[in-house]
Amino acid sequence: MPMFIAVHKWKPEEHFKVMKEIYVFFTKFPPRASKDIEVCSTYMSENGAFCVWNAPNAETLEKLFEGHTPILKKGTEIVPVVQAVPPTMEYVLSLTKNLLEMASK
């Protein structure tokens, strides 16, 4: 399943509201509650968070955030990623594809 990092940023004055949204969200949507969407890990910073998700596509995550975390959604960018360490099959295939393309030039 495709992997994404949701980069969330918010203003210091929004911190309490965002924390409340996150709490309500994760009590309604436990990390493994859906077969289509899975939060793998979350890393918090002072006024932001970096969350690793497995989902069918970025649009699915955007709809999830819009419906449950509107304040958080305002400062969110969803970035498609491939896990490199430890290597996954997707990473090995993308690396092989890049090497083949470079070799053909």
Rounded Cα distance between 45 and 8, Å, is 10
- Mind listing the pLDDT tens digit for each residue in 23-72? 998 888 765 667 889 999 999 998 999 999 999 999 999 999 998 899 99
Taking the mean position of all CA atoms in its chain, how far away is CA 37?
A: 10
What does the domain layout of the chain look like in residue ranges?
3-103
User: What architecture is domain 3-103?
Assistant: 2-Layer Sandwich (3.30)
Distance CA 25, CA 67 (A): 10
pTM value is 0.81
34-44 pLDDT tens trace: 788 999 999 99
**In contact, 21 and 71? CB cutoff 8 Å:** yes
Task: Give which of 61, 86, 88 is closest to 72, Cα–Cα.
Answer: 61
Planar angle of CA 7, 31, 19, nearest 5 degrees: 55
Q: How high is the pLDDT of residue 10?
A: 96
